[in-house]
Every structure is written in structure tokens, then in C-alpha cells.
Amino acid sequence: MPKRLYLSSPTMHDGEMEYIKEAFETNWVAPLGANVDGFEQDMEEYLGGGIHAAALSAGTAAVHLAVRLLGVRPGDVVFVSSLTFAASANPITYDGGVPVFIDSDRETWNMDPEALKKAFEKYPSPKAVIVVNLYGTPAKLDELEKICAEHGVPLIEDAAESLGACYKGRQTGTFGLMSILSFNGNKIITTSGGGMLLSRDEELIKKAKFLATQAREKARHYEHKEIGFNYRMSNVVAGIGRGQMQYLDRHIRKKKEIRDQYAEGFRDIPEISLNPYLSNSEPNWWLTCATLSPESPVSPTELMEALERENIESRPIWKPMHMQPVYAENDFIQALPGISVAEDIFLRGVCLPSDIKNTHEDMDRIIRIIRGLFGKNA
Ligand SMILES: Cc1ncc(COP(=O)(O)O)c(C=O)c1O
């Protein structure tokens, strides 16, 4: 069997163990501690712009706290990108909120500002708008922020996949009222599992930390005036994050090399288009994805199966939320009638192996297999 090549597996270095060792040596393996504070500070410095961070057990927890902080109550509508992972939308329902899904645009695969405008016509007062930067590519953030501001509705930026990507020179994770990050196993940096809630509003982040530690009031005994959660990050896990932060830019550079190699490798195959991005954006290139044109002689499934036969992992595009059985009753808004952009990308798309441990030769092997499917020689 040839060597297994992954979609995007964790890439560890030496620094992480130093921080973990320190946590063990000081017996500070409990939640919170120096690594949590340090990881938050490292992230605040990296993102800049006066951002405050709360390190949490998962990106999903961060989305939930954002929804909770905005006071979503049963029946409240929240707009959210349809083309995303379920964790962008599910936490809305934890507090009884109702996700209304918004279609993608073709230029970024992210929330379409035209569809968002239409959504506001139908639902003038949603509680929030959750915009995802899919696969590490920034959405049309200025336009989306402007529309939200016109309606006085807060924007939550789901930057789970886009840490290190920039929009008009500004880091993703710094847009909207709050942003969220994920550090699960396949992300650009990982803590094995974890997330962060980010905001320029320090009071919101203080409140998030309070809610994430069971909403325990300042008192000698255990006093609770509201419902809280056990959502904080452990000090051991945060140590992995501190070590990984030192390699974030290196990871992004490697991801870009992968993207460039695919672009070069498929240059003469018009049926393959890589996931698009705006010229004012610099993605973090987390996953290189492709759509196959309707004229393509192979389907995305055939392509994935051909790679799997060679022990290479790839993955379908996220199935849009408006197509999920669990959200069958939820509304979906698109700019124009007909097949939605999100569905079209899902049906014609594939996530290509984007693991930064793949060597140039590994990448050549992947590209050779795919080129063969299109009748092209190496
Ligand atoms: C777009 C998006 N939002 C939210 C999440 C949730 O993050 P986590 O897995 O850390 O809970 C993820 C990743 O898993 C994601 O890809």
C-alpha cells in the first residue's frame, strides 16, 4: 500500500511539549492557568486591532457563547451561511433560535450580500448574522458588515477555518461584533480540540469567560444568578496552542505552496477550477478545493474514489445546511431563483488533500492521479 496522504492532519513541532511539560511540572493541568493566559495573549497580539480573546473548549462553544451573549431567545431568527459545517448553525438552536440559511456568492463561496439583502426584506429583525470564511477564504466582509450595520444587526464572524487569512490587509477574526476560531485536529493550527471567542469589546469577552466557567459569581461560596457552561480551555491544551502559534505563519506558507502546486498541475485542465478568492483577500489556504465543470469526464465522487484507491484522503464539500434533513423546516434565501450556488458547489466540488506534511513529491503523486482521470499525462 502506498504511503497514506491526508486531507489535513495535525502538524506538531517541538515547542508544544515545552509548554505541556511546564503545565505538568507546575501541576497546573486543571482548566485555566499560565498557558491559557499566554495563548490568549499570543492570539490578541497576532490578530492586533485591540482584540480580546477567550480560550474555550471548542469553536462550537464559542458560537454558542456568541449567540447567548446576544440574547437569542426561542423563536429568534439568526441568519447564517448555508454552505458550512453544521457547527456554524447548530448552537443557534441550543437557545431556541431559528437559523435562516443564506446562499453563497460565486466569487468567494461565502455569504452572498445580495441574498443577505433579500433575507432582511423577509425578516427585518434577525438577532444576528453569522458569516463564515469557508475553507480559509474571507467573505465579502465589508459589504456584509455594511448591510448588517444598516439594519442595526450584529455580525458574528465564523473564522474557524480562516485564522491568518486577511481581508483588505486586516486579519479575519477581527470583523463584526464577535468572531470565533476553532483549533480542532484538522485546522491550520490545532490544540487537539479547542476554540476562541474574540471581540474588541472587552466587556463581552469578560462576560464570555464568566459564562464559560459556570457563571460563578464573585463570592466565597458558590453563587449563581444565571445559567453557565463548562466551556473553558484546559491549561494543558492551551500549551499545545502556544507552541502551535509559533508555526502559524509557516503552516500558511506551506498551505500556499500546496495551492500553487495544484494551480500549476491543473493549468491545462479547463474542467477543474480551484476555490476562488477576491483579489483584496489573502486566504490562509487551509483547504484547496476544486469544482469540476458540467463537461468534466469525471465526477467528484469518481475523483475521490480514485484517490482513495491510492490511499489518499479527500472529502466532499460541506453539504449545505438548507439541504440537511435536520433543517428541512428552516428557510433558505438565495439572490436568484433556480439551483442555489451552495448546492451547485456541493454537487460539483471536492476538497483536495491539503496536508502540510505532504512533500512536493507527494503532491506530484496526487496531481498525477487526477491528471490521469482527465486523460492527461504526467
Ligand atoms: C466553519 C466552522 N465553524 C465552526 C466549527 C466548530 O469548531 P469546533 O470543531 O472546534 O467545535 C468548525 C470546525 O469544526 C468549522 O469548520
The CATH number for 154's domain is 3.40.640.10
**d(CA 163, ligand 1 centre) in Å:** 12
Atom of ligand 1 nearest to the CA of 183: 10
Instruction: Report pLDDT for 110.
Output: 98
Same domain assignment for residues 210 and 278: no
Q: Are strands 155-158 and 128-132 parallel, antiparallel or unpaired?
A: parallel
Number of domains present in the structure of the chain: 2
Task: Classify residue 113: in a domain, yes or no.
Answer: yes
The answer to whether the CB of 88 is under 6 A from ligand 1 is: yes
Same domain assignment for residues 158 and 138: yes
Quick one: pLDDT band at residue 71, thresholds 50, 70, 90? very high
The answer to whether the CB of 304 is under 6 A from ligand 1 is: no
The answer to whether the CB of 35 is under 6 A from ligand 1 is: no
The answer to whether the CB of 190 is under 6 A from ligand 1 is: no
Quick one: pLDDT band at residue 30, thresholds 50, 70, 90? confident
Instruction: Report pLDDT for 1.
Output: 86
Average pLDDT rounded to a whole number, residues 351-359: 97
User: Domain of 366?
Assistant: 248-373
Task: Classify residue 294: in a domain, yes or no.
Answer: yes
pTM: 0.97
Average pLDDT rounded to a whole number, residues 94-110: 98
Between residues 27 and 184, the one the model is more confident about:
184
Instruction: Report pLDDT for 332.
Output: 98
Task: State the average pLDDT for the chain.
Answer: 97
Share of the chain above pLDDT 90, in %: 95
Collapsing DSSP states into helix, strand and coil, what is residue 113? helix
Atom of ligand 1 nearest to the CA of 132: 1
Whole-angstrom Cα distance, residue 183 to residue 16? 14
Average pLDDT rounded to a whole number, residues 131-154: 98
Quick one: pLDDT band at residue 157, thresholds 50, 70, 90? very high
Same domain assignment for residues 238 and 253: no
Whole-angstrom Cα distance, residue 332 to residue 104? 11
Same domain assignment for residues 210 and 269: no
Average pLDDT rounded to a whole number, residues 223-245: 96
Same domain assignment for residues 62 and 197: yes
Instruction: Name the residue at shortest CA distance from atom 12 of ligand 1.
Output: 160
Whole-angstrom Cα distance, residue 82 to residue 101? 5
**d(CA 366, ligand 1 centre) in Å:** 27
Q: What backbone torsions phi and psi does residue 282 show, to the nearest 5 degrees?
A: -125, 100
The answer to whether the CB of 161 is under 6 A from ligand 1 is: yes
Instruction: Report pLDDT for 199.
Output: 98
Task: Classify residue 10: in a domain, yes or no.
Answer: no
**d(CA 372, ligand 1 centre) in Å:** 34
Q: Are strands 289-292 and 349-351 parallel, antiparallel or unpaired?
A: antiparallel
- Cβ atoms of 272 and 47 within 8 Å: the answer is no
The answer to whether the CB of 60 is under 6 A from ligand 1 is: yes
Quick one: pLDDT band at residue 359, thresholds 50, 70, 90? very high
Instruction: Report pLDDT for 37.
Output: 96
3-state secondary structure 37-59: HHHHHHHHHHHCCCCEEEEECCH
Give the CATH number for residue 344. Answer: 3.90.1150.10
Average pLDDT rounded to a whole number, residues 89-106: 98
Quick one: pLDDT band at residue 255, thresholds 50, 70, 90? very high
Average pLDDT rounded to a whole number, residues 225-253: 97
Grid cell of 26 as nine digits:
507546575
Atom of ligand 1 nearest to the CA of 182: 10
Same domain assignment for residues 232 and 286: no
Q: Are strands 77-81 and 128-132 parallel, antiparallel or unpaired?
A: parallel
Task: Classify residue 55: in a domain, yes or no.
Answer: yes
Quick one: pLDDT band at residue 77, thresholds 50, 70, 90? very high
Question: Does the pLDDT of residue 378 top 80, yes or no?
Answer: no
Same domain assignment for residues 120 and 259: no
Instruction: Report pLDDT for 27.
Output: 85
